[in-house]
Amino acid sequence: MPLPHDYVERVYAGVLGKIIGVYLGRPFEGWTYDQIMAKLGEITYYVHERQDVELKNTSLVVTDDDISGTFAFLRALPDYDNAANLTPAQIGQTWLNYIIEQRTVLWWGGRGISTEHTAYLNLKRGIPAPESGSIARNSRVVAEQIGSQIFIDGWAMVCPGDPERAADFARRAASVSHDGEAIYGAQVWAAMEAQAFVEPSIDALLSTALRFIPPDSVINRLIHDVRGWVVQDEDWRKTRERIVATYGYDSYGGNCHIVPNHAVMLLGLLYGENDFQRSLMITNTAGWDTDCNSGNLGCLLGIKNGLAGLETGPDWRGPVADQIFMPTADGGRTITDAVRETYAVVNSGRSLAGATPLAPKNGARFHFDLPGAVQGFRPEDSSETRGTLRLENVAGHSRSGSRSLALHYYGVAAGRTARAATPTFIPPGTPKMDTYNLIASPTLSSGQTLRSRVSADTKNATPIVCGLYLNMYAAGDQVVRVDGPVVSLAAGAEHAFVWRVPPMYGLPICAVGVALAAERRAEGSVYLDTLTWDGEPEVTLTRPAAGGELWRQAWVNGVDQWDERWPEAFRIVQNEGTGLLIHGTREWRDYTMSAAITPYLAAAAGIAARVQGMRRYYALLLVPGGVRLIKALDGETTLAESNLEWAFGETHTLQLTVVGTTISAWVDARLLFSVTDDARQLDGGGVALVVSEGCLATDAVAVRPAAIMDIHCPIRVL
């Protein structure tokens, strides 16, 4: 089946609809209809800033399992070569790789209460999917909760116009943690979303989806009932009362059953009059699992009605600014945006369709090539900058694309600068997110090269000074600006910036931006065509002398303990199994990392490169009586090993160099191994300290670009 001509924009609208719906419903998740009406009234817009009621969140953009699970679990496709025959077991491996136990993605409510927690524990103990989520193992009540449905949107968006394949993917993905009616609900919603790319009728979407589930299922009966009640009642409140009486929480056990929530999603869909605001108002006001239901419904309506469907009511997109926090064990992907996630989805869909991937503007990280896209850029709000800048996505002003980000500046003069930035790490002032931790690595590091293209509007009356800048967390976690190169742009002029990021001494870079300045009052527009970076970092990561906490948060904590009280910057403990302390991004490819490590007690201790999560990496490990080079990828493979005398409490310097398919390893400046491994899946990733069942310490981890090396040494490959 050919891809729709507007596939990218429809996926973008679906991603936006998903995150808008989640952000809308999150502050009052779990409330009943009566509670919502008494405290908030009908939910017609974001309520996170309401001061008169106690809400779960006062920030709009938050971490949420509905978003993290949706896009993180879909990475099973690219991680396994976008195979159409992707198995539940492979999706289960994806869970184990990206989830950090008790910290990311899932609601950790306990075995037998949280369906996903229960399934994760099964996977961890070696029980593969689909048995990990089966009724036979976990009971019907546990297996039929809502999670299968809330994580399903991505599997639909990679199957535009193909509801059968979407329902099949939904079954496989849902079976990792769910069974029974939970799978049927997921299949229905995935089939509708896939068909929504080509079918505008809601009734036709429902009729199509019903083909893929048993006619005697509860979900099937529910859909028929709700459709009939809508015709009879002509009032969503009356139909809601019927849903409560027939399919309410008191009829279905567990913490958050799929059946009641599937019903209120249909309520909003069928009474919403094809309008985004009205549909989400009904589903959110109806209560129960509001962020999940609103997110699924928002995604479906985004796909079906496109970007124009998000513009018929209030400004949903402006406050969100495309921002997504997606904490997983791959911390370099945490700080992301709707445009980046859109292209990740689209390229998996294109691969499944036999089409080549898309990389707008030669793969620039920020390219703004979708209507309305700002990719997290916001005007700076300070006494020096407030009111000087308005951002707008506009057509044109691009060398290789179709759109750009317009920076409309006003009243810029001496002492009044216009600045706009996008986050590269946890933004300043971000509150603690208790339920789903904001775990991240900076996406930009010292030694990498920033590249950007800007141009000045032809109607600008006077030149404007344009420059790049970075924000970093310095002493006491205070934000310090680091100014980069500047250029004076006359009307109609353009400039390509190239700036190698200077040493930051291991301190996290939290934002990158564009600044506009002038000595005399200036007004006009500058267009940001692209902003991106490349290359490997050159950085030494250690505890800063100035103190602070955010340098620690720049590491993805996948170990049992990492306390501040020890003399070393890093003293990590893993009580059972293997733990990793991870830093960096998937874009790091050819580099050298090294650390002088001291194993105090451990079954294995060492360093890892090209780390893509908890279970995908290369590692050099000290083990009893020797040293081993391993590949972790759906289990561990020993690439090389050697005898080596070492003892607990001794310090040894370990070094790994990864260049293309060559992995070279040193211990105490002695080259031990140089092996070739053609695992395409491990072509890039961050660095980590690794410890199994014990304690490891080091004071610093160094990362630098690797030169192409011609190394020949005797090795033993198993």
Q: Residues 589-621: pLDDT tens digits?
A: 999 999 999 999 999 999 999 999 999 999 999
Q: Residues 328-355: pLDDT tens digits?
A: 999 999 999 999 999 999 999 999 999 9
- Quick check: do 7-331 and 359-534 share a fold? no
Residue 497 has pLDDT above 80, yes or no: yes
CA distance 310 to 275: 9
335 Cβ neighbours under 8 A, 6+ residues apart? 325, 376, 423, 424, 425, 426, 440, 443
Q: Residues 668-697: pLDDT tens digits?
A: 999 999 999 987 889 999 999 999 999 999
Q: Confidence class of residue 712 from pLDDT cuts 50, 70 and 90?
A: very low
Q: Residues 147-185: pLDDT tens digits?
A: 999 999 999 999 999 999 999 999 999 999 999 999 999
Are the CB atoms for 393 and 371 separated by under 8 Å? yes
pLDDT recorded at residue 432: 75
pLDDT recorded at residue 714: 34
Are the CB atoms for 262 and 147 separated by under 8 Å? no
Q: Residues 187-229: pLDDT tens digits?
A: 999 999 999 999 999 999 999 999 999 999 999 999 999 999 9
Closest CA to 541 of 329, 706, 698: 698
What's the pTM value of the predicted model, to 2 decimals? 0.96
- Our measurement of the distance from residue 286's CA atom to the centroid of its chain's CA atoms, rounded to an integer in Å, reads 29
Q: Confidence class of residue 715 from pLDDT cuts 50, 70 and 90?
A: very low
- Our measurement of the distance from residue 209's CA atom to the centroid of its chain's CA atoms, rounded to an integer in Å, reads 28
Closest CA to 264 of 148, 185, 175, 184: 185
Q: Residues 236-266: pLDDT tens digits?
A: 999 999 999 999 999 998 989 999 999 999 9
Are the CB atoms for 597 and 606 separated by under 8 Å? yes
Provide the CATH number for the domain formed by 7-331 in this structure: 1.10.4080.10
CA distance 285 to 33: 6
Compute the average pLDDT of residues 298-310: 98
pLDDT recorded at residue 253: 87
CA distance 396 to 53: 45
pLDDT recorded at residue 153: 98
CA dihedral 67, 70, 74, 76 (to 10 degrees): 90
pLDDT recorded at residue 58: 79
Which residue carries 């998903």 as its tokens? 18
CA angle, residues 128, 129, 133, in degrees to nearest 5:
115
Are the CB atoms for 411 and 516 separated by under 8 Å? no
Q: Residues 564-584: pLDDT tens digits?
A: 889 999 999 999 999 999 999
Architecture per CATH, domain 359-534, reads as Sandwich (2.60)
CATH 3.10.580.10 fits 555-705, yes or no: no
DSSP secondary structure letters along 642-660 = EE----TT--EEEEEEEET
Q: Confidence class of residue 361 from pLDDT cuts 50, 70 and 90?
A: very high
Q: How many helices (H) and strands (E) does the chain have?
A: 22, 26
535 C-beta neighbours (distance < 10 Å), count: 19
Are the CB atoms for 333 and 326 separated by under 8 Å? yes
Compute the average pLDDT of residues 272-287: 98
Widest Cα–Cα separation across the chain = 81
pLDDT recorded at residue 505: 85
Are the CB atoms for 407 and 391 separated by under 8 Å? yes
pLDDT recorded at residue 434: 66
Q: Residues 388-399: pLDDT tens digits?
A: 999 999 999 999
Domain ranges in the chain are 7-331, 359-534, 555-705
What integer best gives the mean pLDDT of the chain? 95
Q: Which residues pair with 164 in a beta bridge?
A: none
Q: Residues 524-573: pLDDT tens digits?
A: 999 999 999 999 999 999 998 877 889 999 999 999 999 988 999 999 99
SS3 assignment, position 448: coil
